[in-house]
Each structure stands twice: as C-alpha cells, then as structure tokens.
Structure 1
Amino acid sequence: MKLAATKVPVSTVWTSPDAPRDIDAPATAEHPDVAAWAKSMDTETRLGLHGRTLTQLLFAEPVLVRSERDGWSEILAPWQPSSEDELGYPGWVPSSHLGELPKAASDPVAITVPTASLLAEPGGQPIAELSFATVLASIEHADGHTRVATPDGGSGWLRDAVLRSVSEPSDTDERLRLGEQFLGLEYLWGGTSAYGLDCSGLVHAVSRVLGLRTPRDAHDQAADLPNIPLDEARPGDLYFFARDSKPIHHVGFVSPTGMLHASETGKLLENAPLTEDRRKTLTTAARF
C-alpha cells in the first residue's frame, strides 16, 4: 500500500468502479463539481445512491491506496475509523482525485464555515473552494490569513476568520452551532461535506472540526463513544436509534429543541422535537 492525499475539494467514495451512474459524472470527473451533482439529483435519484456511495473524502485527507484498476484506486481512509477495516474506511475513488501528501503535517486547522476560498496569497485570487471540516496543516500567519500546506507540494492561504485550531478546546454549544449552519441542507447518502450530509456524516464532520477522532458510521459511533443513560443526555450528546434489536441506523445531536440531525433521503437537516417513531426507536445515548 502507498500513502496519498485527496487533491480535489470533495471526492465521493464508491462501492466499486462500476457503481457510478451517468448522472454521477460531475462527482467522478477529474475536477469534480459536487455542488452541481447534488443539485442535479431529485429524491428518487438520491435514493439510488444506496449501495453505490459510501462516504466522502475532503481536500488533503490522507488515504492508503490498496490497488489501482482502470483509472480507479481502492483506498482506506484512516481519518474515518470503521469496523469494516482497522486501517480506515474502505472504498473506491477516481485515481485522478489523488496526489502526494502535503509536506507539512503540524499545527492542523479546520474550516468552520460551509465553504471557504483557498487563496493564492492573502486577499488574492481563489485557487479552490473548500468544504466545512477540511483539515489542513498550517505553515505561517500573515495579514489575518493562514498559509496551509496542500497536496503535491503546494500551499495556499485561508482567512483566519474561517478557521479554528483542532487542538482548541470546545464545548457542547459549539457542536450545535457548527451543525446548525446546515439547517435546511438536503440529506445525501454518504455525504460528509457542505454539499450534502447523512446522519453520521454530520456527527463525523463536526467532530473532525473539533479535533475528535469519531468513527464514520452510526453503529461504530455508538460502539466507540461512552454510552450514557438516556435520561442523562444533554445538549451536545448523541442519540442513537435502532429497530427491534437490529443494528443502529440513525444518530443525531441532542439539542434543547429535541434533536439536530440529517433525517433521511428526501428530507432536510433539521433541529426539531423527536417524532413518535423516533421515540419508539431511541435505544441509547453517548457523550464525547
């Protein structure tokens, strides 16, 4: 296996090289347009992603490349812990989405807003538009900007106002505030970016901004995080849901209103009271 890094803003991870459909071309292009891809899909088309997409990689995210075939790379994503493989979340991405790891790997900072422009120089021309939860190594600071290392030996600048150090302490209010930026965003199966989130993707992305190594999928999150009694859950904790002793299928942030969560395909990310069905399937709670 070899180490590589995602060199596009968002790379969608697929179950196999044969999984993408014609409508998925914007997501698998050499220079993917994930925003246009998400906008092009209606509910039925999004439902068709089940069994096709698995997760998403963000800019500069490291991967282990297991094999390569016909322009595709079989990868493991170590920043996305999974019970599927102890080395990281498995799947396939276009090989054109991968490059060399950034040279710097210290003082990591995370993007805290839905999207942010990576600039050629402070106040200069945009190089790329990066997603929430993108984590980059910082190199220097100047004029209210931070220079960050990028794949293939490059660098760019981001405004300090859109960044936080992943080592900075956080609290429950910050978890909810970060997640609430995406209220009204349409659910996307396998989504971990500002262009679409699924339930565990929301939890994983917020956790990454806060420097927390949280598994990618809901059932793994429930198994990894310290469980607490349901009646002790407070805002910023997590609720988990399952039906009739089946594996956990849903997760959301406990909120003063009820729950902040990405509900399901065809629905929007919401902060709302628990429905009767949710109450019946609520199985456990966990705390970071």
Structure 2
Amino acid sequence: MKLVAAKVPVSTVWTSPDAPRDIDAPATAAQPDVAAWAKSMDTETRLGLHGRTLTQLLYAEPVLVRSERDGWSEILAPWQPSSADDLGYPGWVPSSHLGELPSSATSPVAVTVPSTELLAEPGSGYVAELSFATVLASVEQADGFTRVALPDGGLGWVADSALRAVESPATAEDRIRLGSLFLGLEYLWGGTSTYGLDCSGLIHAVSRVLGQRIPRDAHDQAAALEQIPVDEAKPGDLYFFGRPGKKIHHVGFVSAEGMLHASETGKRLENEPLPPERRETLVTAARL
C-alpha cells in the first residue's frame, strides 16, 4: 500500500467503482463539483445513495491506496477510524482525486467556517474552495493569513479568521456552536463536508475541527467513546439511538433544546426537542 492525500476539496467515497449513477457525475469528475451535485438531487435521489456512498475525504486528508482498477483506487482513510478495517475507513475514489502527501510542516490548523478560499498569495490568487473540517499543516503566518502545505508539493494561503489550531482547547459550547453553523443543511448519506452531512458525519467533522479523532460511523462512535447514563448527559455530549437487537443507527449532540443532529427523517440538520418516537430508541449517551 502507498500513502497519498486527497488533492480535491471534497472526494466522495463509494462502495465500488460501479456505484455512482449518471446524476453523480459532478462528484466523480476529475475536478469534482460537490456543491452542484448536492444541489441537483431531490429527496428521492438522495435516498438512492444508500448502498452507494460511504463517506467523504477532505482536501489534504491522508489516504492509503490498497489497489487500483480502471481509474479508481481502493482506499483506506486513516483519519476516519472504522470497525470495518483497523487501518481506516475503506471504500473507492477516483484515482484523479489523489496526489502526493503535503510536505512536513508545523502545527495543524482546521477550517472552522462552512467554506473558505485557498489562495496562491495572501489575499489574492484563488486556488480552491475548502470545506469546513479541512485540516492543513501550517508553515508560517503573515498579515492575517496562514501559509499551508498542499498535496503534490504546493503551498497556499488561508485567512486566519477561517482557521483554528487543532491543538487549541475545546469546550462543549464549541461543539454546539460549530454544529449550529449547518442548521437547515440538507441531509446527505455519507456526507462529512459543508455540502451535506449525515448524523455521524456531523459528529466526526466537528470533532476533527476540535482536535479529536473519533470513528466515522455512529455504532463505532458509541463503542469507542466514554458512555454515560442518559440522564447525566449535558449539552455537547452525544445521544445514541438503536432498536432492540440492531446496531446503533443514529447519533446527535445533546443541546439545551433537546438534540442538534443531521436528521434523515427530517431531511435537514435540526436543533429540536426529542419527540416520543425518538426517545423510544434512545439507548445510551457518551461524553467526548
């Protein structure tokens, strides 16, 4: 296996090279337009992603390549722990989305806003639009911008106002604040980016920004994190949901209102009281 990195802002990970449909072409293009892809899908089309998409990679995220076939790479995502493979989340991405790892640099920084521009120079020279939760290695700071190491040996600049040091201390309030940036965002199966999130993708992405690497899927998150009694859960903790004899199928942030979560049934990211039907499947809570 070889270690590479995602060199596009968002690369969607698929169950196989045959999984994408015609409507998914913007997501699998050599220069994917995930925003246009998400906008093009109605509710029924989004539901059709079940069994097709798995997760998403963000710009400069490290990737292990297991094999290659017909322009596709079978990969493992080490930053997304999974019970499916000890080395990281498995799946397939277009090989054109992968490049060489960024060169070594100093402390990692994360994008804390829904999206921000990657620039060739401080304040000019648009390169790409980076998603929330993108983590980059910083090189230097100057005039309100941070210079960052890019895949394939490049360098770029991002405004300091869009970044936080991954190693900075985080609070429960930070989780609610960051998650609330996406209120109203349409649910996207397998989404971990600003263009669409699923329930565990929201938790994973917010945690990544705050310097905590947790599993990608809800059932793995429940297994890995410190469980607490449901009645002791506080805002910023997690609620997990499951049915008898089935694995955990949903997760959300505990909030003052009830729960902040990406709701597939509600079709959007919401902050709302727990309805009775949701409480019936609340099985445990956990603390990050």
TM range (shorter): over 0.9
Please give the alpha-carbon distance, in whole angstroms, between the structure 1 residues aligned to 2:193 and 2:171: 22
Please give the alpha-carbon distance, in whole angstroms, between the structure 2 residues aligned to 1:228 and 1:35: 37
Please give the alpha-carbon distance, in whole angstroms, between the structure 2 residues aligned to 1:264 and 1:276: 17
Aligned: 1:180 with 2:180: yes
Percent sequence identity is 78
Structure 1, residues 19-74: CA drift from partner, whole Å, max 9, x if none? Answer: 00000000000000000000000011001000000000000000000000000000
Please give the alpha-carbon distance, in whole angstroms, between the structure 2 residues aligned to 1:104 and 1:271: 40
Q: Which amino acid aligns with 1:124?
A: S
What is the DSSP-based 3-state SS (H/G/I as helix, E as strand, rest coil) of the residue aligned with 1:205? Answer: helix
1:105 positional shift? 4.3
Corresponding residue of 1:104: 104
1:265 positional shift? 5.8
Corresponding residue of 2:41: 41
Q: Which amino acid aligns with 2:207?
A: S
| Root mean square deviation of aligned Cα | 0.7
Aligned: 1:259 with 2:231: no
Alignment check: 8 A CA contact 1:46 1:265 kept: no
What is the DSSP-based 3-state SS (H/G/I as helix, E as strand, rest coil) of the residue aligned with 1:45? Answer: helix
1:239-278 correspondence runs (5 A): 239-264=239-264, 267-278=267-278
1:266 positional shift? 6.0
Alignment check: 8 A CA contact 2:233 2:254 kept: yes
Please give the alpha-carbon distance, in whole angstroms, between the structure 1 residues aligned to 2:106 and 2:122: 21
1:244 positional shift? 1.6
Corresponding residue of 1:214: 214
Moved over 3 A (4+): none
Corresponding residue of 2:67: 67
Q: Which amino acid aligns with 2:38?
A: A
Q: Which amino acid aligns with 1:205?
A: A
What is the DSSP-based 3-state SS (H/G/I as helix, E as strand, rest coil) of the residue aligned with 2:167? Answer: coil
Structure 1, residues 105-124: CA drift from partner, whole Å, max 9, x if none? Answer: 43000000000000111111
Alignment check: 8 A CA contact 2:99 2:152 kept: yes
Alignment check: 8 A CA contact 1:43 1:265 kept: no
Corresponding residue of 1:128: 128
Worse-superposed segment, 1-10 or 266-275: 266-275
Corresponding residue of 2:281: 281
1:131-170 correspondence runs (5 A): 131-170=131-170
Alignment check: 8 A CA contact 2:146 2:160 kept: yes
TM-score, normalising length from structure 1? 0.99
Corresponding residue of 2:119: 119
1:84 positional shift? 0.1
Aligned residue pairs, count:
288
* Gaps in structure 1 of 5+ consecutive residues: none
